[in-house]
Every structure is written in C-alpha cells, then in structure tokens.
Structure 1
Amino acid sequence: MGRRAIVIVLDSVGIGALPDAREYGDEGSDTLGNIARVQEGLTLPNLEKLGLGNIKPLQGVKPALEPAGNYGKMAEASAGKDTTTGHWEMAGVILKQAFPTFPQGFPAEFISEFEQKIGRRVIGNEVASGTEIIQRLGPEHMKTGKPIVYTSADSVFQIAAHEHVIPLPELMRICTIAREMLAGELKVGRVIARPFVGEPGNFTRTANRHDFAVSPPHPTLLDYVQRKGLAVQAVGKIRDIFNGQGVTEHKPSKSNAEGVDKTLEFMMEHQDGLIMTNLVDFDMLYGHRNNAEGYAEALKEFDRRLPEILHNLEDDDLLIITADHGCDPTTSSTDHSREYVPLLVYGKKLRRGVDLGIRNTFSDVGATVAEYLETEAFPWGKSFFRSISR
C-alpha cells in the first residue's frame, strides 16, 4: 500500500488576526474566537479531541489533555486574503503582490469594451454583497436582460444573472470573455458566475456558481504529486482555484455536506496521492452574510461528520485540516479577513499531541505533503513531517 494525503480546507475558518491585519482593515477579526464568544460557546467535540482548543482558547472548546492529533496555526506569507491566494500558498505559490481590487468599481473604459464584446449593456459595477445586489437590481435585470456586474473587497469580477433571463451557457460565455479581458493590471484572481432564480423580492442564488480562475505562475504541489504518477483528486472548487492545473480527477460539490460525501467517495477508491477538498459553505453562506449562528451550526455539522472521515482513513493516510483565510461574521465587514488559520494533523501511525507552533507560511502544508508522498524536492515552505513521524 502506498501513501495518501487528504487536505480539507474549511473555507474562511480563521483563528485570529494576523499582525498586519490593520493594513487590511481587519484588526480584531477572529472568525472562530468571535463566533464562539457571541454564541456563548461552541460544541465541537471531535475537533476538540484533535486539538483545536490547544491552538488557542475558544469558548466551549477545551484544550485536550492528550490530543489525538497535532496542532498549530499558520500565518499567510502572501499579500492578500482571498481564496485563490490562500490555496495557492498552501501549494507553494507565495504572491508578493496581491491580486488587484476595485473599490470604486472597474474602469469605465473596460466596462464599455466588455459590453461591446458580450453584446449587452451591464448594470451595477460596484462593490456589493451578492445577495443584496440581486434583490436591488434583479428587477431591472429581468426587464432589460442586462447582467449585474459587481465586486467586493476581494479580487473578483462577479456576474449575476437570472437563469431564466440569461441561460447558464450564455452566462458562462460572458464570464469567459471577462476572464480573457481581465489581464495585466486588471488581472483579478477570479471571475465568478453568480446565477440566481426567483421573483422580485424573493431572489435566491443557485448552486450553479462557477469560478474562472487564473493559472498558478509556476508548478504547485498538485503538479509535483501528478508528476510522480499519483492521483490528484479535487473536491469542490479546488479545480477552479488551480484552473485545472495538476488535477487528475474532480468531483464538484454544492454544499459542505456534499463536499464531505465526495471526499469520502474518493477515500473509498483507495488511490495513492492527494485528495484536496474545499468546504465553501462557511464562507459563502455565513461569513459573507454576517451570520454567526449559521456559521456555528456549519462548524458543528462538520464536526459531526469528522468521525466518518477518521473512520475511513487507511493506516498510512495523512489528514490535514486547515483554512485559507478568515471571514469573521461578527464584524461590520462582510468580506474576508486577514487571519491565522488553524492547522490540525492526524494519522493513525503518526505521533500525537505535537505542538506545531506558528508556521510562517501556508506553504508548510505543501512541503509536508510533498515530503510525505516523496515527490521531487519541494522548494517552498518548511515540512513538519519529521516532527510528527514516529
């Protein structure tokens, strides 16, 4: 039997502001800590056993006297605080310059050229919450057929359209054009299709979202694993984040629950290599909507599913649970927050209770997986594999 690493990214589950959070307007952000505080405690017994409460004090989550896993937290070395940056850094890409953001909307010249190329006028072109802007501009969109363009504090160009007004294939064509045009100084991390349905006053976004990312600037962990002839199995939006680079198999998911289901399906295939999963509900449904109660329930639901993942681990498997940034639902902001991310590491044959400390970069995840899977030398990050090996 060979080796397999399973990396599960709890999208936006940060664990306290980074020292430079003030530069991003995120001073005081603490996704896990503040949710636990406002909810008067979290009940996460399985994550607690692995050592979540040993990383830092969390109301309701006790430090384990004998953690079943190894624990620590990681700082982001890259500039920025978005999904693409966080995932890329785990895989060995450290960005010195953050992807561009557009707090005043996109340049008028760009919008004009974009309208000409797609054959439609657009509305919006502002920083907005996705759920709010479709309620506000959805009626006009339905009357005129004009897609809704908006962005956020993150590096995104989002296009919302009612599925009965602009069918999905047409929306994807429009997004493809945007992705091709957004280059150079306008090279955002992601173009996102945001389809919705419903009637004025009751619009809801559908699960047919699709992200159009840019390709990593150099080979990543996924490429290194693939080059060794091993499987790289992606769950959720992982394939989109890496623009397919290095991915050998992909299972889409429309919720955290389905993401866990798809991860278990890959685990039961018993292929050597890497399984990488993104669980997006924390961020998409609760963090960006400042819904601390919903966020807490999503954490509890993942905690309830965790025993299934642990039960299906093979003897030589390496499990890493972490996050890509924060999105504190208790602050006035609805955007991502510049935070440390938790690091929980478990394997049946690994040591237990090792304090992995504060890692200087998310790339330590990639370095560890690369060493564990014995790929070619991985030049980014510092592996902690020897610290947890028996």
Structure 2
Amino acid sequence: MKYTPKEMLAKLVSFNTESQRSNLELIHFCRDYLASLGVESTIVPSPDGQKANLYATVGPAVAGGVVLSGHTDVVPVAGQDWTSDPWTLTERDGKLYGRGACDMKGFDATALALVPEMIEAGLKRPIHIALSYDEEVGCLGARIMIDAMVAAGLTPSAVIVGEPSMMQVVTGHKGGTRMKTTVRGHAVHSSRVDIGVPAVMIAGKLIAWHDEVMAENKARTPNDNGFEPPYTTLHVGVVHGGTAVNITAEHCSFTHEVRVIPGERDDAYVERYRTRIAELEAGMKAIAPETGIEMEVTSFTPALGPEQHGEAEALSRRLTGDNGSHVVAYGTEGGLFQAAGWSTVVCGPGDIAQAHQPDEFITVAQLDAGARFIRGVISELAR
C-alpha cells in the first residue's frame, strides 16, 4: 500500500509512542510496510526487548549515500489541554495537529511515504532510513542502532537528522550530560546541627556550584557563537530530601545536567564536579564516617559541531538554498552520528517551538517542504 506523507503521518501519530511506553507496534508497522515494497529492515531491540530501532536500506549496497534519521518516541500528553485527540491527526487551517506531528513524525512519515519514489528512481547510491527509540529521554536507542549500522558496514556520506528546523540547515548544537547525585547525611536533632551532617544543606552547596560555574562560563564566553545562550549551561531540575524541619536530613538527591557548547568537553565538567564532591565529602566523613556522596551519569549526548567541507552540509544547502549559519541549544541524535565519523546536519520540517506543546502541529506547507527536500535527496542519489 502506498501513502502520501500526510496519510503516513496520520498512521504514525495514531501509535501512542510516549517515551514511557513501547514503540514496537509502530516499528512493526514500519517493518511490514517496507517489506510490502520489497525493502528489508533490520530491527535493533532495546536491552529489555520492550522497544526497538529500525533501519533499512533502499538502493544498492554500496559506499556513500544518505541516512534519513528520525526518532519514533514522543513526549507525554498528560496534564496538557488539547483541543483535539492527540492520537488522531486533525487538520485545521493548514495545520496538522497531533502528538509528534512536528517532533518528529512529520519527517519520519515523509521519508517512509517516499520509499516507492526511491525505488522507482533507480538509486545509484543508497538511502538509509533510521528510526530510533527514546530520543526524548537521552538518545538511548540511537546509540545501539548506530553501533549496529557501523557493524553492518554502512558507510554513508551524509546523515540528515530531520528534527524540526523549518528546513534550515543546522550545523551545531550543544551536547548534554545528565546526572543524579545522592547525599547520605547523618541525622541528629537540629539543635545539635554541629554534630550532624545535613544532607540537604550539603546538596545545597553542590546545587550552588552549578550556578557558580555557569556564571563563570557566561563571563568568559564570546557572545558571537550563535547559541542562545552562548555559553555552557548547568541546571538542577529535581530535588528530594529531608524528613522534618528539626532533623538534619539523612538523605538528599537531585538530578542535574550540563549542556556544553561544541569545543568544550562534557567530561571536563564531570571531573570538576567530582573534585567538588570530594572536598565536601572529606568534611562530612570527619564528622560521621558512614556519610558520603554518590554521583552517576545517567545519559550523555555529544554536541554536534560544524564541519569543514562536510558533505551533509553541502548537500542540504544545495537542496534548501539555505546559506545561513544556524545552531541550536537543544540536543539531537546528530552528535552521535557525527561521533561515529559520519558527516551530519540537522534539517527537517516544522517549528521546534511546537515541540512538546499541547495542540502540537506541523503546517501542511512545512510537510510539503520536507517532501521536496527528500525528493531532492532522491534525485541526487539517482545520478
């Protein structure tokens, strides 16, 4: 069965692939759809088997070609006020509403819908379609999918990550490291705080460290790098701790992140943070040896940096006519593809401002622009 991009988008939106849920139903649909066209897929399951990536090659098994990359998971709709059913694509005034319509099933749907055109074009170099799971919670699926693609011997010349960029060619984004810190204190009555180890107050010093380092970054980073904000940011998002106001807290934990600009090392911030932990921990153990601080890195996604004479950038600029300089503060799977040695840019239909919002939408005009772009890729690879 053939689909238009809009019809395929309606099908993909109908699958509830919130990150806390399985995406297997959608992945199996894509596998069966591609098989009906004579295209074989490779399924790369998650460690627990509850989710999966899929990649498939259209065209000859030769070096070069282009990866069209998208994720299949979407953020939750709980607590959001939707005008229409988020799992039913609804068109109003030139806009297509549905969870994931913009971020980023619009790109996924267009790539899948145009597979018949890829086949009919007689490609001289391949198009690889790569669909991942759990991008929204740390780019978890893409890591093992890229490893599988490398192990399979794929050597694309370019990767297009179709995150919503209004079809602008994005050549850089920040990297991100997410962490969790747990402080084990020593509980005593707060009237004798001098002999206790208050986990919440120790955590407060570590939380303050994030602001201090970010202020240093802001003061020393040039403002002309294109990023908003132009410096590496540090942030604490969730804190849990304490039992009562008159007890020095025995436990406190918090989750936090660092978002680095290209050229800076995530691990340098992690090392610096561990040094601060060691300083505080020494004072804690001097009072109560059983106390301590544990920190774990829960996810890491590398930055995407501009490339010198990158094939992905050159191709995307030829097809879009966009010669501007564009970078974004949010992260994508692009840094992972680039880290694998593949030339990568972000370029896809839709406005990132719509991502994660109630009544998320992509305009029909942007969906059409995405289709023109992929048809351009097909023409390039058919020459």
Give the TM-score taking structure 1 as reference length.
0.32
- Structure showing greater Rg: 2
Give the TM-score taking structure 2 as reference length.
0.32
